[in-house]
């Protein structure tokens, strides 16, 4: 199977799972990226079965609206029953690296505001130790150089993602050559640097469920909070 076919398969599995978790009053949290796009497209034919969506990016909001799905502001949605999103890496504890699409801050907010976080990923995203994928950090523009100098002290190589401005008007530093054996601690440590908005480690609030697309089929893996 190609990577695209694996993404389609996990997206369909995520739609089937979501339909068991929602009712017609539900507002669904929806993430960003190519796997999330497959999910949006597959969910569209069931749009009568839920009320609306909260999107983690302008791009996802636009795609949802094109399908005729109502998109509402998180402030008016309250706690969401479920949030579905992709990832750049996941470890066996369902701690993630996210932000390859620069939407990490809104993704983290929507995940935090949801009862259940379902991660959808093809098998290439599965790792034992996070950090092969460069860790994205969203930074206030005027703090970019200062934050990069502070990050260097953590023994990694920060690289400015040129030409990218987040939906929040900020910039991204990607941390290369950074093995992350203790994701919860590293997440807190980076977030404590003045000028950092947030970083792409989702360890303090990991996924609750992972739907992983493999050659053998879609595997459902429960996180520690569900065991
Ligand atoms: C966007 C993200 C995406 O979830 C992540 O980059 C995975 O994307 P894709 O599904 O295209 O591989 O965090 O900020």
**What separation in angstroms does the CA of 191 have from each of 12, 37, 194, 198, 206?**
34, 29, 8, 6, 16
Phi-psi region of 170 (alpha: psi -120 to 50; beta: other; left: phi over 0): beta
Q: Which atom of ligand 1 is nearest to the CA of 86?
A: 4
Dihedral in degrees, nearest 10, Cα atoms 121, 54, 93, 126: 20
Question: Best of 4, 10, 34, 119 to mutate for ligand 1, by most ligand atoms within 8 A of CB?
Answer: 34
Between CA 109 and CA 89 the distance in angstroms is 19
Q: Which atom of ligand 1 is nearest to the CA of 102?
A: 14
The pTM for the full model equals: 0.96
User: Measuring from atom 10 of ligand 1, which residue has the nearest CA?
Assistant: 35
Q: Is the pLDDT of residue 122 over 90?
A: yes
CB 48 within 8 A of CB 19: no
Residue 107 designated active-site = yes
User: Measuring from atom 1 of ligand 1, which residue has the nearest CA?
Assistant: 101
Task: Return the pLDDT at 227.
Answer: 55
Residue range 135-180, pLDDT digits in tens: 999 999 999 999 999 999 999 999 999 999 999 999 999 999 999 9
Pocket lined around ligand 1, Cβ cut-off 6 Å: 31-35, 85-88, 98-104, 107
**What separation in angstroms does the CA of 198 have from each of 124, 195, 213?**
25, 9, 28
Residue range 36-68, pLDDT digits in tens: 999 999 999 999 999 999 999 999 999 999 999
Q: Which atom of ligand 1 is nearest to the CA of 122?
A: 12
Quote the distance between the C-alpha of residue 109 and its chain's center: 10
Question: What does the mean pLDDT of the chain come to?
Answer: 97
Crossing angle for the helix pair 34-43 and 58-66, nearest 10 degrees?
Answer: 30
Q: Which atom of ligand 1 is nearest to the CA of 36?
A: 10
Confidence band for 74, pLDDT divided at 50, 70 and 90: very high
Average pLDDT over residues 189-203: 98
Annotated catalytic residue, options 89, 107, 138, 187 = 107
Task: Return the pLDDT at 226.
Answer: 62
Beta bridge partners of 214: 217
Compute the distance from residue 23 Cα to the ligand 1 centre, in Å.
27
Question: Best of 6, 29, 36 to mutate for ligand 1, by most ligand atoms within 8 A of CB?
Answer: 36
Closest CA to 191 of 205, 210, 177: 205
């Amino acid at each position: 199977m190609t990577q695209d076919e694996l993404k389609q398969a996990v997206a369909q599995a995520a739609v089937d799972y979501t339909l068991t978790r929602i009712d017609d009053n539900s507002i669904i949290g929806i993430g960003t990226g190519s796997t999330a796009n497959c999910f949006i497209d597959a969910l569209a034919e069931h749009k009568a079965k839920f009320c609306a969506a909260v999107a983690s990016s302008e791009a996802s909001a636009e795609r949802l609206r094109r399908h005729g799905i109502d998109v509402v502001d998180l402030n008016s949605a309250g706690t969401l029953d479920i949030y579905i999103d992709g990832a750049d890496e996941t470890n066996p504890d369902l701690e993630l690296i996210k932000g390859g699409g620069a939407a990490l801050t809104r993704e983290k907010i929507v995940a935090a505001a949801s009862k259940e976080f379902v991660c959808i990923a093809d098998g290439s995203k599965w790792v034992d130790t996070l950090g092969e994928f460069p860790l994205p950090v969203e930074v206030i523009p005027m703090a970019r150089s200062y934050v990069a100098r502070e990050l260097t002290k953590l023994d990694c190589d920060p690289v400015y993602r040129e030409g990218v401005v987040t939906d929040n008007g900020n910039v991204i530093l990607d941390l290369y050559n950074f093995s992350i054996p203790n994701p919860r601690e590293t997440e807190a440590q980076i977030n404590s640097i003045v000028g950092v908005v947030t970083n792409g480690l989702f360890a303090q609030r990991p996924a609750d469920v992972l739907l992983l697309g493999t050659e053998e089929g879609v595997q459902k893996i429960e996180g520690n909070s569900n065991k």
